[in-house]
C-alpha cells in the first residue's frame, strides 16, 4: 500500500515517542519497586550479569564450559524463582518487571520481517491521515450516523425518486463503499447542486477508509490541476517524479472535490484524463464530486473522459433544496 511520506514521517515520530514514553514508565516502575524491595534490584543486577558469565566461561581456553554454564543456569533459575516470590509478596504478577513490547507481531519495530508495515504503526498512520484530512474536511463531526435524511423532501415532483429516496440510496451506497473498501473495487461520481451532502458523505467515506488503514487523499480539482501544472514545469529541471503528483496517483482512494470549478484548459483536460486513466489502470479507487450533471460534464470535458466516467464510475445524483439554507432558516 502506498503511503504519503510526510504523513508517515509524523506517524513514525508519534510511534517512537509513545515507545520511549512506555520505556520511561517501565524504568520508573522498576525503580519504585527496587526502592521498596532492594533485593529485587540485587536480583536484577545478578541476572543481567549471568549472560556475560556464560560468554566468559565459553571462551575460556582449555576448559570444558558446559558444567560452569549449567551451574550458572541453575543459579539464574533460582534467582527468577526468588524474584517471583518477592513480587507475589508485594502483590504483583511474576512478569511485572519484564519489559514486554506492546505489539507481539513486530516487537514494537513498526514493520514486519517481510518489510510490510505492521498494524500497530498503521493505526498511527491512520490517525495522522485523519488529522491531515480534517484540515479540509469536517471529519470530526461528520459521520454516517449523523447524516440526516429528514432534510430531504419526500415529494417526487414527477421524478423517479424523491430527494429523500435519492439521499437514502446514496447513503447506502456510500456506506457500502466505505465498509467494504478495496482499492480499485469501485469508483463514485457524486453530482448535484451545492449543499446537498456530497462533501459530507465524502468526508464520512474518508474517515472510515482511513481508520481501516488505507491511504486517502482529498483535494479540490483546481488545486490538484495547479499542482500538476507546476510539476510539468519542474520536470524540465528535475528528472524525478513530483511528490504532489505521485501522492494523487498512488493513494488507495482519491477524493476529487469540486470538479468543474477549475479553468478547463487543454492542459486540464489532459491532466484529468491521465489522472483517471492512470488510477484505473493501477487498480486505485476515485470519488469525484461535482455541481455539474452528466450532460454538463459531457459538454465540458472530452469524450475520453466521459467514457471513463460512464464506464467505470457509479453515478449518484443529489437532488433537493440546499441543506445549509434549510438549517439557517430553522435556526432563525
**Percentage of the chain modeled with pLDDT above 70:** 89
Average pLDDT, the chain: 85
Measured between its terminal Cα atoms, the distance across the chain in Å is 48
Indicate if the pLDDT at residue 49 is higher than 80. no
DSSP tag of 116 = P
What CATH number labels 136-331? 3.40.50.300
CA-wise closest residue to 248 among 285, 290, 201: 285
Write down the pTM of the prediction.
0.72
For the chain, the structural domain boundaries read 5-90, 136-331
- pLDDT at position 4 is 72
Q: What are phi and psi of 257, to 5 degrees?
A: -100, 150
Residue 185 — pLDDT band, cuts 50, 70, 90?
very high
pLDDT top residue among 122 and 252: 252
- pLDDT digits 0-9 by tens, 204-258: 999 899 888 888 988 889 888 888 888 776 655 544 556 778 888 888 999 999 9
Candidate ranges 42-51, 134-143, 289-298; pick with highest mean pLDDT? 289-298
Residue 160 — pLDDT band, cuts 50, 70, 90?
confident
CA-wise closest residue to 255 among 314, 201, 318: 201
How far is Cα 66 from Cα 22, in angstroms, rounded to an integer? 38
Amino acid at each position: 500500500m502506498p503511503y504519503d511520506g510526510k504523513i508517515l514521517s509524523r506517524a513514525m515520530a508519534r510511534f517512537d515517542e509513545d515507545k520511549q514514553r512506555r520505556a520511561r514508565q517501565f524504568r520508573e516502575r522498576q525503580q519504585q519497586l527496587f526502592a521498596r524491595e532492594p533485593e529485587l534490584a540485587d536480583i536484577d543486577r545478578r541476572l543481567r550479569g549471568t549472560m556475560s558469565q556464560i560468554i566468559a566461561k565459553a571462551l575460556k581456553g582449555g576448559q570444558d564450559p558446559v558444567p560452569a554454564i549449567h551451574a550458572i543456569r541453575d543459579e539464574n533459575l533460582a534467582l527468577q524463582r526468588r524474584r517471583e516470590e518477592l513480587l507475589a509478596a508485594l502483590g504483583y504478577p511474576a512478569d511485572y518487571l519484564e519489559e514486554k513490547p506492546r505489539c507481539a507481531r513486530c516487537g514494537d519495530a513498526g514493520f514486519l520481517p517481510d518489510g510490510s508495515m505492521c498494524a500497530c504503526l498503521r493505526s498511527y498512520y491512520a490517525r495522522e491521515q485523519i488529522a491531515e484530512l480534517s484540515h479540509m474536511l469536517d471529519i470530526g463531526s461528520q459521520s454516517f450516523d449523523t447524516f440526516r435524511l429528514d432534510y430531504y423532501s419526500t415529494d417526487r415532483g414527477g421524478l423517479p425518486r424523491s430527494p429523500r429516496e435519492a439521499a437514502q440510496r446514496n447513503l447506502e451506497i456510500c456506506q457500502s463503499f466505505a465498509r467494504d473498501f478495496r482499492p480499485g473495487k469501485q469508483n463514485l461520481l457524486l453530482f448535484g447542486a451545492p449543499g446537498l451532502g456530497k462533501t459530507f458523505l465524502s468526508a464520512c467515506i474518508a474517515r472510515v477508509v482511513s481508520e481501516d488503514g488505507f491511504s486517502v487523499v482529498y483535494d479540490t480539482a483546481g488545486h490538484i490541476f495547479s499542482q500538476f501544472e507546476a510539476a510539468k514545469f519542474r520536470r524540465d529541471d528535475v528528472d524525478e517524479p513530483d511528490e504532489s503528483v505521485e501522492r494523487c496517483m498512488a493513494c488507495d482512494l482519491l477524493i476529487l472535490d469540486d470538479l468543474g470549478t477549475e479553468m478547463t484548459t487543454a492542459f486540464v483536460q489532459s491532466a484529468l484524463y491521465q489522472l483517471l486513466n492512470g488510477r484505473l489502470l493501477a487498480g486505485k479507487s476515485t470519488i469525484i464530486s461535482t455541481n455539474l450533471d452528466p450532460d454538463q460534464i459531457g459538454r465540458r470535458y472530452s469524450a475520453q473522459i466521459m467514457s471513463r466516467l460512464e464506464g467505470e464510475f457509479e453515478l449518484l445524483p443529489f437532488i433537493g433544496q440546499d441543506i445549509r439554507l434549510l438549517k439557517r432558516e430553522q435556526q432563525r
